[in-house]
């Protein structure tokens, strides 16, 4: 059974049209991460929540925001998607500083 669930698997949006990606987990992990992965590259950390504390990476554009309404859910909001934001977006969870478990990802296309 999937433990880190990302919806949708594929998302198509228009240039400049806000889009929200979702992640839920059944592991009761207190840490949730969002990564961006472009083709043939390693995942790149955007930000993470350690419990309710939000931690943004220094080079994450302001265009990317996140919300974590409760332990189980975390959302990635892209306010004005550009063509360069087309990528796979990966959610991961962890218990404290332990190993990360990834979801299957959402492949975002921007037209």
How many Å apart are CA 4 and CA 92, to the nearest integer?
7
**Residue 37, Cα to own-chain centre: how many angstroms?**
10
Site string for other proteins, 6-45 (x = CB under 8 A): x------------------------x--------xxxx-x
Q: What are phi and psi for residue 84, nearest 5 degrees?
A: -75, -5
Instruction: Indicate whether 81 belongs to the interface with other proteins (CB under 8 A).
Output: no
Instruction: Indicate whether 107 belongs to the interface with other proteins (CB under 8 A).
Output: yes
Residues that bind other proteins (CB under 8 A): 4, 6, 31, 40-43, 45, 48, 50, 88, 90, 92, 94, 96-105, 107
């Amino acid at each position: 059974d999937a433990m880190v669930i990302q919806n949708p698997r594929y998302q198509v949006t228009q240039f400049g049209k806000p889009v929200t990606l979702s992640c839920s987990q059944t592991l009761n992990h207190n840490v949730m991460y969002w990564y961006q992965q472009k083709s043939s590259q390693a995942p790149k950390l955007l930000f993470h929540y350690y419990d309710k504390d939000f931690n943004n990476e220094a080079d994450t554009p302001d265009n990317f925001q996140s919300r974590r309404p409760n332990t189980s859910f975390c959302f990635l909001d892209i306010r004005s998607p550009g063509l360069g934001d087309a990528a796979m977006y990966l959610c991961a969870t962890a218990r404290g500083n332990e190993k990360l478990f990834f979801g299957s990802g959402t492949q975002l296309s921007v037209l």
